[in-house]
């Protein structure tokens, strides 16, 4: 009788404890990008298990989407009031998501956090998440447009020293000219329909000391001399590249490079794996993005930030997850691009990339694209200007003046209503 009573009490206690435990347990919905690499998927699973060990009461639920569908899914879910708690978003969506009120400022979390500090991350990536003086995202991974990939055999055939890649704009153009013949070219420009061309053009402008928007992002500065010179130089490169650059995408240019048709190619550090897969025999190397004689080599940042949604039910758990996922040890293992955490990036580059110092140096000085909630519209105006210039429809000055007018009108219209 007594035994039974005791057993009953113990059972009751167990049930109570279980009840308490399950009541505290929260489910955290996390959306990420689909990764193709088996190793990476495994690393993510392992990292998740580690997180679960640290926080047994937080139950993380991953959902992954391929890049092409990701933005649509997020916008639908956020607009329908059913977003995840945490997700990664492209740097250039961060101002848009912030302005729409989809994601929350993280400044208070950062002040209290022992691990997440501004100086731990590439500064250009951190700044990309700042909108109207508040921080709306923590950088997760980064990439830089662009580095100068070059084919050493083509250098040798043109009588150039493959250990001395071009440093300045003039050197790049001159070496490119030497490689250019009927069947082979110095480089292959691209415009296409994506944002890649914008990153390249912006990098040229940044390297020349210019910018796209002024400091508070309220006025366009494309009609200033640095931008004009940069685009004049870009146009000059037409003569050392196969025709058709306006319709060509970065992928097409990449194929020309791996096929050995062009000597040099501007692309981000993540392209290394693809070169090794498509052209395993090629003797290639990597150099910094060329700079003007008096300028500094500055690339444009790409990459992804982690955000917490306004409608998230588990904001504190979400922050714990971000702290964990962007920490040095984890960030290094779970990202396919270069990690945004600087220490993690160094380890990652040394392990997975050739020419890690070149890449690291380029990342350290890279700048973010203009902060504006309607960035895609702005980028399209810029791309149209670039197209007009390449097709000789307008002079460089004229095209940039028109683009500046259009972008200013866009900015004025937006800020008049917001």
If 0-12 CB within 10 Å is exposed, 13-18 middle and 19+ buried, where does residue 117 land?
Answer: exposed
Identified binder of another protein from the candidate list 279, 285, 347, 410, rule CB under 8 A:
279
Please tell me whether residue 54 binds another protein under the rule CB under 8 A: no
* Distance of alpha carbon 146 from alpha carbon 299, whole angstroms: 6
Please tell me whether residue 193 binds another protein under the rule CB under 8 A: no
Region from 232-240, 248-256, 291-299, 349-357 binding another protein, contact rule CB under 8 A = 248-256
* Beta strand ranges found along 188-288 (DSSP E): 262-267, 284-287
**DSSP letter assigned to residue 372:** -
Please tell me whether residue 82 binds another protein under the rule CB under 8 A: yes
- Shortest distance, position 39 Cβ to another protein, whole Å: 9
Identified binder of another protein from the candidate list 6, 13, 34, 108, rule CB under 8 A:
34
8 A C-beta contact, residue 352 and residue 269: no
* Distance of alpha carbon 173 from alpha carbon 102, whole angstroms: 45
**Cβ contacts of residue 3 below 8 Å, gap of 6+?**
none
Please tell me whether residue 67 binds another protein under the rule CB under 8 A: yes
Secondary structure of 93-152 as H, E, C letters: HHHHHHHCCCECCCHHHHHHCCCCCHHHECHHHHHCCEECCEECCEEEEEEEECEEEEEH
Identified binder of another protein from the candidate list 235, 261, 354, 401, rule CB under 8 A:
261
First to last CA, the chain: 74
Region from 6-14, 174-182, 273-281, 366-374 binding another protein, contact rule CB under 8 A = 273-281
Please tell me whether residue 75 binds another protein under the rule CB under 8 A: no
- Shortest distance, position 247 Cβ to another protein, whole Å: 17
Region from 59-67, 104-112, 308-316, 408-416 binding another protein, contact rule CB under 8 A = 59-67
The residue written with tokens 């395993």 in the block is 280
Identified binder of another protein from the candidate list 17, 21, 64, 409, rule CB under 8 A:
64
Please tell me whether residue 255 binds another protein under the rule CB under 8 A: yes
Identified binder of another protein from the candidate list 41, 100, 167, 285, rule CB under 8 A:
41
Identified binder of another protein from the candidate list 12, 16, 49, 259, rule CB under 8 A:
259
The structure tokens listed for 309 are 């949604």
Contact track, another protein, 127-146, x by CB under 8 A: ----------------x---
- Shortest distance, position 12 Cβ to another protein, whole Å: 35
Please count the residues of this chain forming the interface with another protein, following the rule CB under 8 A.
35
The structure tokens listed for 198 are 């914008």
* Distance of alpha carbon 96 from alpha carbon 376, whole angstroms: 10
Name which of 302, 267, 298, 301 is nearest 284 in CA terms: 267
What one-character-per-residue DSSP string does 313-361 give?
S-HHHHHHHHHHHTSHHHHHHH-SSEESBHHHHHHHHHHH-SSHHHHHH
Contact track, another protein, 207-226, x by CB under 8 A: --------------------
Cβ proximity to another protein, 25 vs 251, nearer residue: 251
* Distance of alpha carbon 230 from alpha carbon 201, whole angstroms: 8
Please tell me whether residue 412 binds another protein under the rule CB under 8 A: no
- Shortest distance, position 99 Cβ to another protein, whole Å: 22
Please tell me whether residue 251 binds another protein under the rule CB under 8 A: yes
Cβ proximity to another protein, 173 vs 375, nearer residue: 375
Region from 225-233, 239-247, 251-259, 392-400 binding another protein, contact rule CB under 8 A = 251-259
Please tell me whether residue 313 binds another protein under the rule CB under 8 A: no
Whole-Å CA distances, 88 to 68, 137, 185, 363: 14, 9, 39, 20
Strand 86-90 relative to strand 26-33, pairing: parallel
Instruction: Summarize as ranges the residues that interact with another protein (CB under 8 A).
Output: 33-34, 36-38, 41, 63-64, 66-69, 72-73, 76-77, 80, 82, 143, 250-251, 255, 258-261, 268, 270-271, 274, 277-281
């Amino acid at each position: 009788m007594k035994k039974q009573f005791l057993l009953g009490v113990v059972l009751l206690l167990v049930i109570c404890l279980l009840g308490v435990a399950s009541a505290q347990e929260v489910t955290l919905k996390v959306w990420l990008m689909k990764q193709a690499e088996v190793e990476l998927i495994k690393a993510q699973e392992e990292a998740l298990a580690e997180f679960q060990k640290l926080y047994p009461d937080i139950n993380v639920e991953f959902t992954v989407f391929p890049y092409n569908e990701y933005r649509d899914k997020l916008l639908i879910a956020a607009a329908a009031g059913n977003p995840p708690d945490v997700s990664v978003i492209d740097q250039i969506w961060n101002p848009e998501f912030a302005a729409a009120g989809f994601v929350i400022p993280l400044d208070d979390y950062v002040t209290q956090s022992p691990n997440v500090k501004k100086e731990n991350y590439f500064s250009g990536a951190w700044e990309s998440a700042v909108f109207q003086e508040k921080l709306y995202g923590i950088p997760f991974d980064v990439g830089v447009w662009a580095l100068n990939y070059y084919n050493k055999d083509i250098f040798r055939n043109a009588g150039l020293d493959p250990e001395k890649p071009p440093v300045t704009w003039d050197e790049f153009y001159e070496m490119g000219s030497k490689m250019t013949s009927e069947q082979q070219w110095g480089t292959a420009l691209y415009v296409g329909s994506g944002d890649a061309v914008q990153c390249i053009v912006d990098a040229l402008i940044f390297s020349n000391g210019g910018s796209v928007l002024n400091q508070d992002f309220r006025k366009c500065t494309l009609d200033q001399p640095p931008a004009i010179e940069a685009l004049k130089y870009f146009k000059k490169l037409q003569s050392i590249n196969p025709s058709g650059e306006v319709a060509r995408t970065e992928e097409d240019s990449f194929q020309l490079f791996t096929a050995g048709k062009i000597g040099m190619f501007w692309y981000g550090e993540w392209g290394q794996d693809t070169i090794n897969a498509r052209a395993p025999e090629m003797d290639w190397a990597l150099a910094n993005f060329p700079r003007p004689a008096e300028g500094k080599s500055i690339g444009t940042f790409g990459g992804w930030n982690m955000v917490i949604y306004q409608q998230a039910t588990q904001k504190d758990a979400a922050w714990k997850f971000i702290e964990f996922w962007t920490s040095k040890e984890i960030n290094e293992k779970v990202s396919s691009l270069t990690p945004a955490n600087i220490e993690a990036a160094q380890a990652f580059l040394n392990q997975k990339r050739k020419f890690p110092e070149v890449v690291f140096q380029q990342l350290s000085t890279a700048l973010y694209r203009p902060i504006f909630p309607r960035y895609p519209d702005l980028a399209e105006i810029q791309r149209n200007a670039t197209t007009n210039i390449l097709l000789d429809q307008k002079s460089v000055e004229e095209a940039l003046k028109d683009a500046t007018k259009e972008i200013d009108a866009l900015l004025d219209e937006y800020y008049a209503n917001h």
